Copies of this chain bind each other. A is one copy, B any other.
Amino acid sequence: MRILLSNDDGYFAPGLACLAEVLSDIAEVIVVAPERDRSGASNSLTLDRPLNLHKSHNGFYYVNGTPTDCVHLAVTGMLDILPDMVVSGVNYGANMGDDTIYSGTVAAATEGFLLGIPSLAVSLVGASNGNFLTASLVTADLVKRFNEKNICAPVLLNINVPDIEYSQLEGFEVTRLGRRHKAERVIKSQSPRGETVYWVGAAGAAQDAGEGTDFFSVQHNRVSITPLQIDLTRYDQLDVVTEWLG
């Protein structure tokens, strides 16, 4: 089995190193990741300049681009044989609810999926305890299961793992994305040159974090697995808008 591994924290991130090592026991792993931290990059794709590809001393490849660029370049040009899976992570911090659309971690997996390859995005919620090994073992479990018993459909799975020891996990749960309240206000500050600057503030508090959501699942020490799709069409509004227009 051949796995293309990427992330959005950069090719030197501990979550990536840990996952690469664990997956190496069960598959051939090729790492192609951003040369620097690109958290929040979403599905950003670089069109106005070409990309470079370099190999690090530890064998990981890095690209001067976004997570999406990394997977795009690897799959449509660099690799001679298509990978069997694309895995993105382990991200430092959660990618749940509405935040998913900003996530570079999820974007790397989405690009794999768009290019026809089953893909997983893996994030460690909180991450202050640094249990990247837990998230890596969870990923290996899923990859092994995938290898034994294919899902009869293309898949893009968003996986969020609680930051606890593997033995403390309370199992897996298939979830829907929760919802957040609106984001907090930007935070005004002054530069030393007297200019007003603005930091993007905190994400909103959970609004829909009830049973069945990724928020709920992780809070109860379960691994949350959310199947994602990329068709943004709001089908249930087609009629309403048609009527409104008429």
Task: Please give the residue numbers on chain A whose beta carbons come within 8 Å of chain B beta carbons, in ascending order.
Answer: 12, 14, 35-37, 39-53, 56-57, 64, 66, 68-69, 72-73, 76-78, 98, 100-102, 107, 110, 114-116, 145, 149, 151-153, 155-158, 172, 174, 176-177, 179, 182-189, 191-193, 195-202, 225-235, 237-238, 240-242, 244-245
Contact = CB atoms under 8 A, between A and B. Distances in A.
Given A44-B44, A172-B245, A227-B233, A199 B191 contact: yes
Nearest to A171: B245
Contact of A153 (B51, B115, B182, B237): B237
Contact of A202 (B40, B98, B192): B192
Contact of A12 (B12, B52, B102): B12
Contacts of A174: 238, 241-242, 245
A223 to B, nearest CB: 10
B64 A48 contact: yes
Q: How many copies does the complex hold?
A: 4
B39 A47 contact: yes
B52 A177 contact: no
Contacts of A225: 241, 245
Contacts of A73: 186, 198, 200
Contacts of A192: 187, 199-202
A44 B48 contact: no
B227 A234 contact: yes
A77 to B, nearest CB: 4
**Which of the listed residues A53, A101, A149, A235 has the most CB atoms from chain B within 10 Å of its own CB?**
A101
A22 to B, nearest CB: 17
